[in-house]
Amino acid sequence: MTSFELRRSQHEKKKKSLAPDFISSQALLLLVEEDRKNVLNKVPLLLNIEKDPKTFSEAMSSRDASFFREAVNDEMDSIMSNQTWVLVDLPPGFKPISSKWVFRRKYNSDGSLQTFKARLVAKGFKQRNSIDYFDTYAPVARLTSIKVLFAIASLNNLYVHQMDVKTAFLNGDLDEEIYMEQPEGFVLPGNEKNVCKLVKSLYGLKESPKQWHEKFYSVILSHGFKHNNADKCIYFKFTNDFDVIICLYVDDLLIFGTNMQGVDDTKKYLTSQFKMKDLGKVDTILGVKVNKHSGGYSLCQSHYIEKVLLKFNYLKFKEANTPYDSSIKLLENSGRVVAQLEYASVIGSLMYVMHCTRPDIAFAVCKMSRFTSNPSVEHWKAIGRILGYLKRIINLGLSYNDYPEVLEGYSDASWVPIQEIINPLLVGFLQLLEERFLGLQRNKTCITHSTMESEFIALVAAGKEAEWLRNLLFDIMMWPQPMPSISLYCDSEATLSRAYNKVYNGKSKHISLRHEYVKQLIADDVINIVYVMTNKNLADPLTKGLTRDLVKDTSFGMRLKPLNNKVTNDGNPTM
């Protein structure tokens, strides 16, 4: 076997300069002969953003070739130092897979150019099931888990830092025998017929996420950490000197600590095991901006929403007071499809905003997502209204404070007659940690026969989430133990009566199992159900379109606050 080694030039590395047309004329005065990092720091905003190159030859012939060449060398350095493969002759009966280079220009949240990235990706779509790979599943932290941790960080005044694992997927050990052609631009002279036998996982392989998670799992547990039973991507370590919680989302890590000693100790250990990038205090995670204020932390996606609004600015939408107009009856489109791909794109962007930080648009987004396969002009107008609503109150975000530890939930449902079969049942619930929104779920496919049945199904969904949150917090010693039962608020007296009725009459067999499940949760003191008036039900905006005042009140109830913190005389935020 012949090991693959990079040939390095013996010439002294010279500082690079950018071509005069790399940036706009407004930034030309900043152009000096500097290395990549210094140049990028001196250019605050790139107005002429180019498309990323699609091939290796295109990148090497572009105006940014020197930057991409350095990014390629950095990637190969990581691969070789990690001993990802060895060069061998291809054994009989094996067929090598190929690879490609993927190039990206990465930008900061303010639009400034951050760095150039190059990634060698194996063409895993050519792998054969049960031959080149077996299991591929790899868990990631739930968004709800991340929001729970920020709520706990606000309650306990925790330090929150962020780290990034460089070339994370290269750390996984492969169990299968996989061969790959030598990457373009790095074919070793004299060994052109050799192939790379993969020893470690590589980006693009189907089993790479699973192998990376198993590697991180074994490494972090060997340092005294334990995993959370409710979320396998949350690890904790509680000692006499400090408490530390790690949240892993693929290659992004959030480190929560009671003091800097625990945070620094964790960083030092992770750096000794993997190639890490220390990002310091948390700033942005998964496209969500994190701000530290006097009372705790706040989460906002204003910069992400700005990008969405800019992308779909051609719709010429107007600002709106509510995300949905209930007076308009939207039906399935029986005519010509209008921009289906663009419609699906905007729905995907809005759903991400909805799940992360903006539950106030939940009903409108889920309503419009039903028409993704065949949108019409009327559906596009409704999408424009959602965008106009976001434009009007773009700086709204979740705010976490150091309030007493209280976990409660709200459930609601909207039942309609069978003739409107396109919308037979809307189910919504949300869980609140010390009056902060954590998560929601809104889609159910079963058809119910009454309002009570639909409300009961919503209550069951809320109960499942409450049980999961209880299990999540059970392993976090920062949360007071023993935990009291979780109050679930429901605005249907008939549903409460059914839930607490120990005798089941058997007339509604399709919800009998749900009835038994709720009774068991009540008996185990996991939940208790409390009646709340409809106008006080914070889950109301998840199931129906509301008026301006109700949208304002429910948003404030879920503690959605604008970043400028302006409030009206009644104590509510300006919207």
pLDDT for 112-159, tens place per residue? Answer: 777 888 888 888 887 777 777 777 788 889 988 999 899 889 888 899
Label each residue of 292-350 as H, E or C: EECCEEEEECHHHHHHHHHHCHHHCCCCCCCCCCCCCCCCCCCCCCCCHHHHHHHHHHH
Q: Is the pLDDT of residue 395 over 70?
A: yes
- 319-to-212, 221, 303 alpha-carbon distances in Å: 45, 51, 18
- Residue among 221, 233, 192, 185 nearest 79 (CA): 185
Structural domains in the chain plus CATH codes: 25-285 (no CATH), 300-396 (no CATH), 405-542 (3.30.420.10)
């997927």: which residue's tokens?
169
Mean pLDDT, the chain, as a whole number? 78
pLDDT digit string, tens, across residues 430-477: 555 544 445 555 555 556 667 777 777 788 888 888 888 888 988 888
DSSP letter at 124 equals: G
Residues 535, 367 contacting (CB under 8 angstroms): no
Backbone conformation region of residue 550, classed left if phi is above 0, alpha if psi is from -120 to 50, else beta? alpha
Long-range pairs of 269-278 with CB within 8 A, sequence gap ≥ 24? 269/223, 270/163, 273/219, 274/165, 274/166, 274/168, 274/171, 274/219, 275/78, 275/165, 275/166, 275/167, 276/163, 276/164, 276/165, 276/166, 277/163, 277/164, 277/165, 277/166, 278/161, 278/163
Residue with the larger pLDDT of the pair 231 and 15: 231
Q: How big, in percent rounded to 5, are the helix, strand and coil portions of the chain? A: 35, 20, 45
Residue 440 φ then ψ, to 5°? -150, 160
> Rounded to an integer, what distance in angstroms lies between the CA atom of residue 115 and that of residue 62?
16
Can you read off the two tokens belonging to residue 41?
């720091």
Q: Bridge-partner residues for 561, per DSSP? A: 397
DSSP letter at 13 equals: P
Residue 294: burial class (beta carbons within 10 Å; 0-12, 13-18, 19+):
exposed
Long-range pairs of 131-136 with CB within 8 A, sequence gap ≥ 24? 131/176, 132/97, 132/176, 132/178, 132/206, 133/176, 133/205, 133/206, 133/207, 134/176, 134/207, 135/207, 135/210, 136/206, 136/207, 136/209, 136/210
- Residue among 401, 351, 365 nearest 561 (CA): 401
- 71-to-51, 74, 85, 186, 241 alpha-carbon distances in Å: 17, 5, 20, 14, 41
Q: In the prediction, which pLDDT does 415 show? A: 62
Residues 321, 388 contacting (CB under 8 angstroms): no
> Rounded to an integer, what distance in angstroms lies between the CA atom of residue 476 and that of residue 486?
17
- 172-to-80, 169, 212, 326 alpha-carbon distances in Å: 14, 6, 4, 51
Q: Is the pLDDT of residue 419 over 90?
A: no
pLDDT digit string, tens, across residues 212-249: 999 999 999 999 999 999 999 999 999 888 899 999 99
163 Cβ contact partners less than 8 Å away, ≥ 6 residues apart: 252, 253, 255, 267, 270, 276, 277, 278, 279
> Rounded to an integer, what distance in angstroms lies between the CA atom of residue 290 and that of residue 399?
10
Bridge pairing between strands 486-490 and 407-415 = parallel
Q: In the prediction, which pLDDT does 461 show? A: 82
- Number of Cβ within 10 Å of residue 349's Cβ equals 19
pLDDT digit string, tens, across residues 488-510: 888 888 777 777 776 656 565 66
Can you read off the two tokens belonging to residue 147?
């929001």
pLDDT digit string, tens, across residues 67-113: 888 988 888 888 888 888 889 888 888 888 888 898 988 877 666 77
pLDDT digit string, tens, across residues 516-531: 888 888 888 888 888 8
Can you read off the two tokens belonging to residue 101?
């280079």
Q: Which of the residue ranges 29-43, 362-376, 469-483 would you say has the lowest mean pLDDT?
A: 29-43
236 Cβ contact partners less than 8 Å away, ≥ 6 residues apart: 225, 226, 228, 243, 244, 245, 246, 475, 476, 477
**Following DSSP, what letter does each residue of 131-176 receive, concatenated?**
TTB---------HHHHHHHHHHHHHHT-EEEEEEETTGGGGSBP-S
Residue percentage of the chain with pLDDT more than 90:
13
Residue with the larger pLDDT of the pair 487 and 22: 487
> Rounded to an integer, what distance in angstroms lies between the CA atom of residue 436 and that of residue 247?
20
Q: Is the dihedral of CA 477, 478, 481, 486 positive or negative?
A: negative
Residue with the larger pLDDT of the pair 424 and 574: 574
The distance in angstroms from the start CA to the end CA of the chain is 68
Q: Is the pLDDT of residue 335 over 90?
A: no
